Every structure is written in C-alpha cells, then in structure tokens.
Amino acid sequence: MGKTIAEKILSKKSGQDAYANDLVVATVDFRMGQDGTSPLAIRSFEDMGGERVSNPETSAFVIDHSAPSPLEGVSALHKLMREFARKNKMLLYDVGEGVCHQLMPEKGHVGPGSLVIGADSHTCTYGALNAFATGVGSTDLAAALISGKMWFKVPETIKFICHGRLPFGVYSKDLILYLIGQVTSDGATYKAAEYTGEAIQALSVDARFTISNMAIEMGAKAGLMEADEKVWEWVRRHGNGNFEQVTSDPDARYAQVLEYDVSSLEPQVAKPHRVDNVSPVGEVAGTPIQQAVLGTCTNGRLEDLRIAASILKGRKVHPEVRFIVAPASRRVFLEAMEEGIIQELVRAGAAVVTPGCGPCVGTHNGIPSDGENVISTANRNFKGRMANNKAFIYLASPATVAASALTGVISDPREFLPKEVS
Amino acid sequence: MELRGRAHKFGDDVNTDYIISGKYKFKTLDMKELAKHVMEDLDPEFAKRVQPGDFVVAGHNFGCGSSREQAPLALLNAGVSAVLASSFARIFYRNAINTGLAVVECDTSGIESGDELLVDLEKGVLRNLTREKEIAIKPLPSFMLKVLADGGLVAHFRKYGTFNLD
C-alpha cells in the first residue's frame, strides 16, 4: 500500500514500515526550543538525569518570545538558557536574531524530508519545505535532547487540493484563514495536512510558510507540501541543501481529500476570539482599530513587509492607530532596509521593534488596552492572547493590515494596492 | 490507577492561553505561582475553588493552541488530577501524559459541575457517582498508560534512561 508524506518520513526515521496510527520512536534530525518552553525543558532534562545533549550541533535554543527581556524574571530564564546552551555546545540564537520559525529554515537547519521537533506549536511551519516538523512540549524536548529520539503516533493525512490561482489582492494568508474557517479549529486534530494543487505551486516559498504555519490552527500535527524547484532554490540559497525530498504515493490512503477552487476567493479576516471565525473582509470593513501589527512567524517575511510598504509608501498611518512592525529575523530586517522597505514603513508612521514574537504572545511590545481592537498578521486571536482579555484581535493578511492601519478601520486592501503588474 | 474527584465543567475549545495566559507563563518556572492563575480568563474564581483530586471536564478540542507544558503543569499544581473531554488537541494530550496528568476521552455531556466521579484508567471505566451512571471511555494506548503510571516522561526516563515501548 502506498504512503503519505508523513508515513514515509516517519518510516524512514524510525526504521519501521509505519502507517497511520502506528506508534514509533524515531530519530529526530533537528531539535528546537524557545524562551517560553526551554527553561522548563532544562528542568526536565536535569530531572531526567540528563548529562549531556546527544546532538548539540543539531539542537538550538532561540530567545525570541520576550526579546529583549522586559522583566527580571525573564532575564533569569534567558540566562539559564544561555548557560545551558554554552555548557552543552548547542546552537543559541539570542535577542535580535529573530523568530525561531524563521531562523530554523533560514539558517539551513531544516529542509525536504527532515524530521524536526520544536517546543513551540508553530513548528509545523517547515512543512512548506517538505519537512515533517511538529510542535511538542518541554519534556518531549528534554527527552529528545538526551536520546536524540521522540515518540510519535503516525498521523492520518487530510489532503487539501487548491485549484485555480489566487486573485489580485488575495494572499496565502487569506487562503489558509479560509481553509481553517471551512474545516474549523479541530478539523485536522491528530492528523497531518498535505497542501497541494496549482494554487499552492504558484506561491512563493515565503507565502507557503504562512500556510504551513497555520496548520496547527486546524489542529494538524504537520502542514506538509511537496518540494518543487522553488523549494530547492530556497533551500540552497539558505544552506548546503543536503536533503532528500519525499513525495506521497498515488495510492496513499488519506483520511479525507478536500478540493477547493480559490480563483474567486476574497481577502479574509478571522474575528475575535477564534481563528476559525472567518469571513470575507467586507463583513467587518469599517470596524475601528487602535493597533495594527505586522510581523510574527506567520507574516513577518520580506515579501510581507514589501506588500505592506507598497500600500503605505508616501502615505501616513491613521493618527489614532499604533502601527507595530516586527521583521521575522535580522536577515529579513537587513534585506528590507536594503530595499528601502523599512524606511517607507517608518516614514508612514510604523514603530519597528526587535525581530521576535512579543506583540503576538502578549509578553511586551504592544499590549492593547481594554476594549481596543487590534488587526494583526499573527496566527491566534484568542481572548487574552495579547495579554489583555478585554481586547479584540482580528487576523488578516499583511495587505489588509496595512490598509487598515492607513484608514483606521478594517479595510479591503484591493483599493489601496498598486495596480497589478501583468 | 483509580482517581476520584469532583467535576468542574467547561465548554468547547478551551485553549492553552485560557488554561494559563502567556503573560504569566513566560516569567517564571514556579508552577505553584502559575497555578494561582489557572483558567483565569474563563473563570477567575476557579483557582480558589478547586480542591486536590478534582477533575476538569470539558467539551471538544481541549488544550488547543500553544505547546506550553505549563498548561498541564498549572492544572496539576492547582490540584487537578485528570481532565475529561470529548476530544483533546494533540500537543496538550502529549504534554499531559508526559507530565503525569491523566487525560480521559469520553462523552462529557452527562456530567455537570459538582458531580462526583470515579475513573479507573487501566480498566477503562468512568462512573458518575452523583448520577449513578457509567460512561464509556476511550482506552489509552499501553505506552501512554505506562508513562502515566510511571508518573510522567521524566520519571519514565529516570527509570529506563530512554523510551521503553515494550
């Protein structure tokens, strides 16, 4: 019987002929933890009797969730991470390097066919590079640092086939929000998702990361894509490209195959307080906003900043809106400066903060006040997510966020974008 | 493994931000401190009301959202001995097993807050003592039962030094 991408990668890494629902222990190619989860992993590591990290050159800590530290307590946890990483000769990406899910691919740590665990739920992002990458907890990370291995229940797979081509002003963020709205926030729980079809193939790798990043918002364990020439070009540009891609077999068994025609999709918005509470932007257009956030592991990449700048160039953000921009990494930040994108955003009124996660997870860098509305390019809009349970978070594409920052109300970006170059 | 306690009922899609907000969890490794804020955004009085051994009972997709292990740890440190839900999000489910918090997948529609419950994980039996009803539960795979019986993955590793699936 044929296999899905998930079944193939987990078979290869466990040495077993594994199919959906089998329990396997597999060798992990890369391990990652961030500053919200690594301190607890260090404690578990010590409690487990761990003496040394088994594969330090393929294990990394990233300080991105509260970076730079806003509090003494956080500083102590960061110090703990730095000391542990140094002692064990692990990789450490410190304050200012960027968001873990941008860094892992950007630094060449993951690629086609990799098996990666990260103590962060959005680890599924690297599925866009054909990696089986999944979020785990701190104790899982500790066990993997000690043994190099991890236990997995091999997931069933839902295949999403996206036909057609996204229209002008509609992006991969709109597509994944739409899909989550369709299948709901637990529509793919315990399962892997495979995203395929000409609409996916037409996307840049940057845009594909946005889709795989949000696989977890439909409950999925992984958000997998095929490795095409674009992926290989991207991987080679960011590392040695020493990977082996995996494709699903034509006779692989899927839990479900869902097909969509995306050619008439409109910009989408996820309304408070659920990621699957999705509607076309027209339904919420005119809602006043007090803060707009551009960045995060979902949409803080060069292409995202470029789209926002194309709307805001030569214009001013609405006087009653705080517009916060967090590039996904130092590299993205530098490239955006070289292109003049950061300058345009700042002239328009943006407050640029250190590459990192702060505003999205409510640790610092823009906690909203009671009753305020925020429009964000992030991936979660749960009540209290940005550290105030009386604020309201709307999720949208960089274009919709930029257009809304400009007008002070949720706005359809299509009337503000420069006309399509054909 | 037999557990007995009172039910505290919650709804569907209880995410890990609701279980323990990011604004607390990034600051400390003191789980007793985090336990004071457990479920705060859904029920500000819960942390004060919960008694050792009590059960959290919920609908579908319990524990969705972030991978924070502080979620099961905050529940454990608040005294919660098990979470019963009609379904769980997968990372929370893993984290619960790994930290030694029992998770029981079952139809929770017939359970109300205050009901006295008895659960036997090995036998796969759940009894609602208040309503004198038996509820079928989805049995845990043997490896997970073993980790749970060891007291979590930390204790499992202390015992075996690695994963022991046999």
The SS3 assignment for A291 reads strand
Spatial neighbors of B101 by CB under 8 A, at least 6 apart, are B72, B75, B76, B80, B81, B82, B83
Would you list the DSSP string of A193-217?
EEEESHHHHTS-HHHHHHHHHGGGG
Residues of chain B with pLDDT > 90, as a percent, come to 82
Could you tell me if residue B9 is inside a domain? yes
Residues of B with CB under 8 A from a CB of A: 13, 15, 17-18, 21-23, 25-29, 41, 60-61, 64-70, 73, 87-91, 94-95, 98-99, 141, 143, 152-154, 157-158, 161-163, 165
Give the model confidence (pLDDT) of B99-133 as tens digits: 999 999 999 999 999 999 999 998 889 999 999 99
Q: Chain A partners of B28 at a C-beta cutoff of 8 Å?
A: 73, 77
pLDDT of A290 > 90? The answer is: yes
Spell B12-26 as b/e; 16+ CB within 10 A means b.
ebbbbbbbbbbbbbb
Q: Chain B partners of A296 at a C-beta cutoff of 8 Å?
A: none
Give the structural domain span for B131. 2-160
Give the model confidence (pLDDT) of A402-420 as tens digits: 999 999 999 999 999 998 6
- Name the nearest CA neighbour of B53 among B97, B118, B123, B138: B118
Spell A20-41 as b/e; 16+ CB within 10 A means b.
beebbbbebbbbbbbbbbbbbb
pLDDT at residue B26, as a whole number: 73
Domains and CATH numbers, chain A: 8-260 (3.30.499.10), 270-413 (3.30.499.10)
Could you tell me if residue B165 is inside a domain? no
Which phi and psi (to 5°) does residue A180 adopt?
Answer: -65, -40
Give the model confidence (pLDDT) of A200-231 as tens digits: 999 999 999 999 999 999 999 999 999 999 99
Q: Chain A partners of B17 at a C-beta cutoff of 8 Å?
A: 380, 382-385
Tell me the pTM.
Answer: 0.95
Task: Find the residue in B nearest to A148 (Cα).
Answer: B162
Could you tell me if residue B166 is inside a domain? no
Say whether B143 and A151 touch across the interface (CB within 8 A). yes
Distance CA A61, CA A362 (A): 20
Best A382, A386, A388, A395 member to test B by mutation, with max B CBs in 10 Å, is: A382
Q: Report residue A422's pLDDT band, with 50, 70 and 90 as the boundaries.
A: very low
Give the model confidence (pLDDT) of A17-63 as tens digits: 999 999 999 999 999 999 999 999 999 999 999 999 999 999 999 99
Best B18, B39, B60, B67 member to test A by mutation, with max A CBs in 10 Å, is: B67
pLDDT of A248 > 80? The answer is: yes
Give the model confidence (pLDDT) of B15-58 as tens digits: 999 999 888 877 788 999 999 999 999 999 999 999 999 999 99
User: What CATH number is attached to the domain comprising B108?
Assistant: 3.20.19.10
Q: Mean pLDDT across chain B, nearest whole number?
A: 94
Could you tell me if residue B72 is inside a domain? yes
pLDDT at residue A420, as a whole number: 63
Best A186, A275, A386, A393 member to test B by mutation, with max B CBs in 10 Å, is: A186
Q: Chain B partners of A73 at a C-beta cutoff of 8 Å?
A: 27-28
pLDDT of B69 > 90? The answer is: yes
Show the tokens assigned to A417: 């974008």
Total of domains in chain B: 1
Say whether A142 and B162 touch across the interface (CB within 8 A). no
Say whether A49 and B161 touch across the interface (CB within 8 A). yes
Give the model confidence (pLDDT) of A59-111 as tens digits: 999 999 999 999 999 999 999 999 999 999 999 999 999 999 999 999 999 99
Residues of chain A with pLDDT > 90, as a percent, come to 97
Q: Count interface pairs A-B at CB distance under 8 A.
A: 146
Query: What is the predicted ipTM?
Result: 0.90
Q: Chain A partners of B154 at a C-beta cutoff of 8 Å?
A: 44, 47-48, 139, 142
Could you tell me if residue B47 is inside a domain? yes
User: How close A119 comes to chain B (CA, Å)?
Assistant: 7
According to DSSP, residue B161 is labeled S
Q: Containing H/E element for A118?
A: strand A115-119
Strands in A9-87 per DSSP E: 23-27, 30-34, 59-62
| C-beta atoms surrounding A393 within 10 Å | 27
